[in-house]
Amino acid sequence: MSSLTSESDLSDLVTKLKNLNHAVPKDEATRKSLVDAARSLVFALETPGDSIQRIAYTSLQTITARVASDINLFEILSNRGDLPSSTSELAEATKTNEVLLETKYQNPTDSTHTPFQKGHGTDLVPFLWLQDKPTYLNNFGSWMTASREGQNTFLDIFPFEKEVASNMKPETPLFVDIGGSVGHQCVALKKRLPKIPGRVILQDLPPVIAHAIPEEGVEPMAHDFMTEQPIKGARAYYLRNIMHDWPDDKCIVILGQIMKAMNEDSVILIDDMILSNQGVDWRVTQLDLTMMASLGAMEGTEKQWYSLMDSAGLKINRVCTYTPDLRDSIIVAVPK
């Protein structure tokens, strides 16, 4: 058999595999053979990050099946046959508001009252709980790095030099990476645009900053983003995967601290996922459930992002999406 090397060959193969969804072989031996071949293909195509995510999030399948059973979702879907269903239709059909459980299957919005606190016997949110557990903290940091390895970044599509860094002076703060962990984004910026003047500042909590990547031109700074932002008048205040970790009321606090430090040339760059209203990637739905269960937060749709920015006193000037599948995007926001 000849190898599949051309883009058209691979595209044809994808089409044929999708068509199998509507023509499942009736012969059991053939069906099992296809299942085994498909499973082997998935494993061969997975990146290390894909494999880790598949294994780490497996427990969600059991949990969601239990919830679906509790609210009679499987029977409702079976009765609807092949008819498509919106989430609002299913919410009405399942009458989830009447399920007498602790939160009545409502979306949690309190980051200190989630399954995480119950499971770990703590009143702390996960990020504070991790601070005195260096092994867990290091493992978490390693996972966050590995999960995005090899993927595009906002610098691949957003014209940072043109829209943010024009007419810069060396002493002016250019880029403040708020909650930036050990500094991968700061390092990426310095390597991508080494000649741009202006200060690049990395901020995170003290135990994290202690392990910041040494990089010439990057200033590490211990800072809690729930408190006053000490860097005033920066061109760009950057938040990568921060907003999705917090319910809306906390997001408004975080954004408010930044807004008080901004001047007329400042922008907020929010680097996060913007979910489509339908057909959301399965990996994103896993993350969304994890945000809900661990942090009382969620991955937001475009409508939800615009609503949050409006509630915080911000307007969105521009949105640039740089990963089509996960919908990672840069939101450029300024005060109204």
d(CA 225, CA 227): 5
Q: Which of 101, 102, 108, 80 is nearest to 92 (CA)?
A: 80
Whole-angstrom distance, CA of residue 135 vs CA of residue 62? 28
301-to-93, 235, 280, 288, 318 alpha-carbon distances in Å: 23, 27, 10, 11, 15
Q: Helix count (H) and strand count (E) of the chain?
A: 15, 8
Catalytic residue among 22, 184, 223, 244: 244
Distance CA 165, CA 244 (A): 27
Instruction: Quote the CA–CA distance of 261 and 38 in Å, as a whole number.
Output: 53
Instruction: Sort 43 into a burial class: Cβ within 10 Å, 0-12 / 13-18 / 19+.
Output: exposed
- Is 211 noted as a catalytic residue in this protein? no
Integer CA distances (angstroms), 237 to 78, 177, 189, in order:
48, 6, 13
What residues are labeled active site?
Answer: 244
